[in-house]
C-alpha cells in the first residue's frame, strides 16, 4: 500500500509574527527621511524669508541628513545580504562590507554638509565636492556586492536544495531588488546631475525634485517587495528534512519478511520481488 505524503498547508501567521527586525529598520528609515525633508523645507523657508538659513534648523537638518544617509545604506546592505529573509546571521564577508561602507558613508555626508555650508567661490568647495562625488559612487558600487552574492547563493541553492521552488522565488525577488538599486543609483547620481547642469538657473529645482521623487519610488517599491506578508516567498513555512526527501512512503507488512520462493528453474526469488513483478498465470490447465 502506498501512502502519499500529506502536504502541510502554510500556517496563517499573525501580523506581529510576520514582521522582522529589518521591517522596523525600514520604518525608522522612512521616519528619518520624513524628518530630513521637513527640516530641509524649514531651512529653505528661512532662506527665502530672511536671506540666510537659521543656524538651529540648519544644524538639525544636517544631523538628520547624516543619520538618514547611514540608515539608508545600512538597510540596503542588510536586505542585499539576505539578512532575515535568506539567513539570520551575517558572514565575515558581509561584516567587512559594513566596515567599509559605514565610514565611507559618514565621510560622504560630512563632505556634502561642508559643500552645502561653503560658498562656491571658496577654494575648498571644489575639493570637498569631488570627495563627496567619489565616496558616494564608491558606496553605491559597494552595496551591489551583497545583492550579487545573495543572488549567486540562491542560484546554487535552487539547484541543490530540496526547496528549489522557494529558492527560485527568492532569487526572482532579489533580482528585482538588484535592478531597482541599479536604476536608483543611475538616475539619482547621473541623470539628476546631467539635469542640473543642462537646465537654466530658474529650473535647477527640477534636479532636487526628481531626486526626491526617485528616492520616494525606490522606498515604496522596496517596502512593497519585502512587505511583511505571509504569502511572500521568504515567509513560507519551511518543512522538515524528512518531509522534503520523502515524497512518498511505501508501507508493507512483516508477514513476508525474510521469506524466499524457489521457481521451477531453481532460481531463488525473494517474496518482495515476486510481489512487485507478479508472473502471469498459465491458463492452459484450466478446463
Cα dihedral sign for 18, 19, 23, 28?
positive
Round the average pLDDT of the chain to a whole number and report it. 77
| pLDDT digit string, tens, across residues 186-197 | 999 899 989 988
| pLDDT digit string, tens, across residues 69-97 | 999 999 999 998 888 777 778 888 888 88
pLDDT on residue 151: 87
- CA pair distance 99, 184, nearest whole angstrom: 23
| pLDDT of 210 higher than 90 | yes
Closest CA to 246 of 167, 162, 156, 161: 162
Distance of CA 106 to the CA centre of its chain: 23
pLDDT on residue 172: 86
| pLDDT digit string, tens, across residues 36-74 | 989 988 988 888 888 888 888 888 989 999 999 999 999
Grid coordinates belonging to 224: 512593497
Closest CA to 147 of 178, 101, 168: 178
Amino acid at each position: 500500500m502506498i501512502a502519499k505524503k500529506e502536504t502541510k498547508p502554510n500556517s496563517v501567521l499573525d501580523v506581529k509574527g510576520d514582521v522582522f527586525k529589518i521591517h522596523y529598520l525600514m520604518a525608522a528609515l522612512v521616519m528619518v527621511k520624513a524628518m530630513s525633508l521637513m527640516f530641509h523645507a524649514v531651512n529653505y523657508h528661512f532662506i527665502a524669508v530672511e536671506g540666510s538659513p537659521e543656524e538651529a534648523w540648519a544644524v538639525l537638518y544636517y544631523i538628520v541628513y547624516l543619520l538618514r544617509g547611514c540608515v539608508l545604506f545600512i538597510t540596503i546592505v542588510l536586505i542585499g545580504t539576505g539578512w532575515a529573509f535568506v539567513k539570520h546571521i551575517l558572514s565575515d564577508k558581509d561584516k567587512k562590507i559594513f566596515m567599509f561602507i559605514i565610514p565611507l558613508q559618514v565621510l560622504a555626508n560630512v563632505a556634502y554638509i561642508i559643500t552645502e555650508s561653503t560658498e562656491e567661490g571658496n577654494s575648498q568647495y571644489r575639493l570637498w565636492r569631488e570627495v563627496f562625488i567619489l565616496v558616494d559612487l564608491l558606496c553605491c558600487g559597494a552595496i551591489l556586492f551583497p545583492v550579487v552574492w545573495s543572488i549567486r547563493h540562491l542560484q546554487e541553492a535552487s539547484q541543490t536544495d530540496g526547496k528549489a521552488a522557494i529558492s527560485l522565488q527568492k532569487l526572482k525577488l532579489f533580482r528585482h531588488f538588484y535592478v531597482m538599486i541599479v536604476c536608483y543609483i543611475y538616475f539619482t547620481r547621473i541623470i539628476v546631475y546631467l539635469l542640473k547642469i543642462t537646465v537654466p538657473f530658474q529650473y535647477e529645482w527640477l534636479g532636487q525634485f526628481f531626486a526626491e521623487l526617485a528616492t520616494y519610488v525606490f522606498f515604496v517599491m522596496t517596502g512593497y517587495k519585502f512587505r511583511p506578508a505571509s504569502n511572500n516567498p521568504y515567509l513560507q513555512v519551511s518543512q522538515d528534512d524528512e518531509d522534503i526527501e520523502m515524497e512518498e512512503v511505501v508501507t508493507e507488512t512483516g508477514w513476508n519478511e525474510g521469506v524466499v520462493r524457489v521457481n521451477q528453474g531453481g532460481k531463488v526469488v525473494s517474496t518482495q520481488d515476486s510481489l512487485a513483478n507478479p508472473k502471469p498465470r498459465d491458463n492452459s490447465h484450466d478446463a
